[in-house]
């Protein structure tokens, strides 16, 4: 889920930025500091969106920079358990598929791709034995987040499933309705005869 978060922190503005307008210099330094920042509390920092309050500047002995206490807002993406996300399949392997869900990739284990026996073909496609469904790079899917791990903060892991009703590749989601309509039409045709 995307959030607009208000944060308070100290920022160091170097002398090379003293000629810039204060808020622009502060945003520039905040963007440098938080670019690619990941934490369990905030999730993935997308961007620093604005400075709301700047405290009195301080110059510390031995450091020619100015230090400010700043309240600012940022846009973050924090994956939540049970959240439903849309994404595009970026890679398929013999153990599952990787799906881009915004600023991060999640992994769908082969056992969580569909309610069927799934095999991996030489073409890099996951195939359902009975349903004849296939999953390949570029497919747009709807999945549910079932695991989030920040054990390695520089490389968090997100586990997803597509085995529940209403999840999966876009054309799979519409299949039950199409099947019901087809069965209903067949019953009407039998009654008409």
Task: Lowest mean pLDDT of 17-26, 66-75, 179-188, name the range.
Answer: 179-188
Detail the DSSP E strand segments found in the chain: 2-13, 38-39, 43-54, 58-59, 66-77, 84-93, 96-100, 105-109, 118-120, 126-128, 134-135, 140-149, 157-161, 168-169
pLDDT digits (tens, 9 = 90+) for 80-111: 999 999 999 999 999 999 999 988 999 999 99
The whole-model pTM stands at 0.77
What phi, psi does 181 have (nearest 5°)?
-60, -40
* Mean pLDDT (whole number) for 159-180: 80
CATH of the structural domain 2-77, one choice from 3.30.2130.10, 3.30.1490.120, 3.40.50.300, 3.30.360.10: 3.30.1490.120
Q: Given its phi and psi angles, is residue 51 left (phi above 0), alpha (psi -120 to 50 degrees) or beta?
A: beta
Q: How confident is the model at residue 178 (pLDDT cuts 50, 70, 90)?
A: low
Ordered by start, the domain boundaries in the chain are 2-77, 84-184
For domain 84-184, which CATH number applies: 3.40.50.620, 2.40.50.140, 3.40.50.10490, 3.30.420.40? Answer: 2.40.50.140
116-119 LR contacts (CB < 8 Å, sep 24+): none
Interval 23-40: pLDDT, tens: 999 999 999 999 989 999
């Amino acid at each position: 889920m995307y959030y607009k978060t208000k944060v308070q922190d100290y920022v160091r503005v170097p002398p090379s930025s003293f000629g810039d307008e204060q808020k622009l210099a502060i945003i520039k330094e905040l963007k440098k500091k938080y670019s690619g920042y990941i934490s369990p509390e905030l999730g993935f920092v997308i961007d620093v969106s604005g400075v709301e309050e700047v405290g009195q500047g301080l110059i510390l002995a031995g450091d020619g920079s100015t230090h400010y206490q700043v309240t600012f807002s940022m846009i973050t993406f924090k994956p939540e358990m049970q959240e439903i996300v849309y994404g595009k399949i970026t890679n398929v392997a013999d153990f599952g598929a990787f799906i881009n869900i915004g600023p991060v990739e999640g992994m769908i284990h082969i056992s969580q791709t569909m309610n069927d026996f799934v095999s991996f073909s030489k073409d890099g496609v996951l195939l359902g034995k009975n349903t004849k469904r296939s999953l390949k790079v570029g497919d747009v899917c709807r999945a549910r987040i079932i695991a989030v791990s920040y054990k390695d903060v520089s490389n968090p892991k997100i586990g997803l499933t597509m085995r529940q009703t209403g999840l999966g590749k876009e054309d799979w989601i519409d299949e039950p309705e199409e099947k019901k309509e087809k069965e209903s039409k067949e019953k009407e045709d039998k009654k008409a005869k």
